[in-house]
Amino acid sequence: MKKFLLSIVLISTLSLMQRALGQACTVSKVSVQLNSTSVSGTNCVLNITLTFSLAHNAGNKFIWMHLWKAADYPGLTYSKPPSASDLALTLANIGINNSVTPQVLLSSYTPAPSVVVEGAAAGLTVTVTPAGTVDIFTVSGIKLTAPGACNTKVSVKGDVWSTQSASMNNVQCFSNGLSFIPNDPIISGFKRCTSPRTLALTISSLTATDVNVTYTLYKDDGDGIFEPGTNDVQVGSGGPFTINSSTPYNNGAVPYTGNSVTGEISSIWVAVSSDEPGSSIVTSLFKNTCSILPVNLAWFNAKRTSAATVELSWQTLQEENSRGFEVQRQVGDGAWQVVTFVPSKANNGNSNSALSYNYIDNNTANAISQYRLREVDIDGNSKFSETKSVRGESQTGRIIVFPNPSSDGTIKVSFEDLNGTRDAALTDMNGRVIKQWSGLSNNNLEINNLTNGYYSLRVIVRETGEQSVQKIIVSKH
């Protein structure tokens, strides 16, 4: 009898220990979609959508997710719910009430009310899709504020745990150490209106270190939620490809299953996996609005190389029925003029590989000159590139503001022939920020509707950290 009672005690003790320590929540298929980036002071704010599969469990009534910068990850054991001190360095804390349908986001953290929670009030949304033995959770609008520039990779580690009690005083199960990098690799591209349909796809990286990547394509079922292998059917794949900051993967005509169906209008998910430690699947949705473009222009630059010459250069990733490029120039406030026509290098106007172009323009103008390309196809259709500015022969400085003083509250800014991405802020004479710009990649900026007064324009080049300040005067008559 004593042995029997001892057995009962041991079983009960083990059961209590098991519940105290928590069981392993089976989290799988973690993927992240970068929606946008913005600069806030010296920090980068990444707006992401996070998707993960969680094994269906009746005990998952309240689910919590905590995200840290990888360097700050504390490695909690989940013998009890995390405390406020455990969560002091989190990038985000997100709670989901999984006991109601549809599921809703929680607005406070019961075990430690002082913990800041991102919820519906902060613009987050949650969608849960049952998929057999797992539920697919999609949380959109998560904002991660990380120190440093947005051109630096942000490595994130996170934990997911669940509880059965509304008081959240116990841990039913947990999964810790989930890793992902929300801003690398970077996916860009679009659907092309070809017959059959194809995708123009670029996969790039922020660092010089080689990374091997593969991509998988899924046809979206129409809800815009990433549900790989369930509601969203795989329609293609490619790789592995080696990329780095100077060598992206570019393909102007990626095919996929079903792309030759008449009237095909499906959206396509692009999911990229890399072999970099700590990374997860990065996704991007190519919407069902395809693009009719004679040319996919990768970049266009204009640079003054001497007192008498300006060098124009550009590269295309793909050309379709392209006849060539009309180079146009505008000096000061004058009219646009055609400088020359550069024929397409593509065979019969069609190419799916990168083609580079160069033209030297004789230009001795003292005022700012602006350049643009008119991309012309064989049928006569055309579209303009972005506009690039260069300083006049007698002008100096890395930033040129004109007119300055401004008599109508409008000024134009030309960044001196620099490649890269810039952040800018305009302040008044009291130091108040009037306007801000994040991620400027063109070398032109126009500022409108300024009132009389003195202003300062501070520009930071992300890649180098170089800062420049220009004084601006507005004096309306």
- pLDDT band for position 296 (cuts 50, 70, 90): confident
- pLDDT band for position 416 (cuts 50, 70, 90): low
pLDDT in tens, 234-281: 999 998 999 988 888 988 889 999 998 877 888 999 999 998 887 789
- pLDDT band for position 395 (cuts 50, 70, 90): low
- Would you say residue 420 has pLDDT above 70? no
Of the listed ranges 1-10, 60-69, 168-177, 233-242, the least confidently predicted one is: 1-10
Backbone phi and psi for residue 265, each to the nearest 5 degrees, phi listed first: -135, 20
Q: What are 262's two structure tokens?
A: 């008449």
Class of domain 186-286: mainly beta
Who wins on pLDDT, 441 or 102? 102
Alpha carbons 250 and 243: distance in angstroms, whole number: 10
Class of domain 23-180: mainly beta
pTM of the model as a whole? 0.60
List the beta bridge partners of residue 311. 303, 360
- pLDDT band for position 233 (cuts 50, 70, 90): very high
Of the listed ranges 91-95, 102-106, 386-390, 397-401, the least confidently predicted one is: 397-401
Q: How far is CA 404 from CA 175, 292, 331, in A?
A: 59, 40, 17
- Asked if the 295-390 domain carries CATH number 2.60.40.10, the reply is yes
> Looking up tokens 């102007």, which residue turns up?
252
Question: Which sequence spans correspond to the domains of the chain?
Answer: 23-180, 186-286, 295-390, 399-474
- Would you say residue 35 has pLDDT above 80? yes
- Would you say residue 46 has pLDDT above 60? yes
The pLDDT of residue 291: 58
| Residues ≥6 apart with Cβ < 8 Å to 446 | 410, 411, 412, 413
Alpha carbons 51 and 14: distance in angstroms, whole number: 34
Of the listed ranges 4-18, 45-59, 294-308, the least confidently predicted one is: 4-18
The pLDDT of residue 70: 93
CATH annotation of 399-474: 2.60.40.1930
- pLDDT band for position 430 (cuts 50, 70, 90): confident
Who wins on pLDDT, 278 or 369? 369
- Would you say residue 418 has pLDDT above 60? no
Mean pLDDT of the chain: 83
- Would you say residue 4 has pLDDT above 60? no
The pLDDT of residue 127: 92
Identical topology for domains 23-180 and 399-474? yes
- Would you say residue 63 has pLDDT above 70? yes
Q: Give me the amino acid identity at 302.
A: A
Of the listed ranges 210-214, 248-252, 309-313, the least confidently predicted one is: 248-252
Pairing assessment for the beta strands 27-40 and 281-286 based on DSSP bridges: parallel
The pLDDT of residue 144: 93
- Would you say residue 20 has pLDDT above 50? no
Q: What are 299's two structure tokens?
A: 């970049």
The pLDDT of residue 397: 54
The pLDDT of residue 393: 63
Question: How far apart are the two ends of the chain, measured CA to CA in Å?
Answer: 103
Would you call 350 helix, strand, or coil by DSSP?
strand
- Would you say residue 401 has pLDDT above 70? yes
- Would you say residue 3 has pLDDT above 70? no
pLDDT in tens, 133-155: 889 999 999 999 988 877 788 99
Alpha carbons 282 and 288: distance in angstroms, whole number: 20
The pLDDT of residue 1: 38
pLDDT in tens, 71-129: 999 999 999 999 999 999 999 999 999 999 899 999 999 999 999 999 888 889 999 98
Residue 41 belongs to what H/E stretch? Answer: none
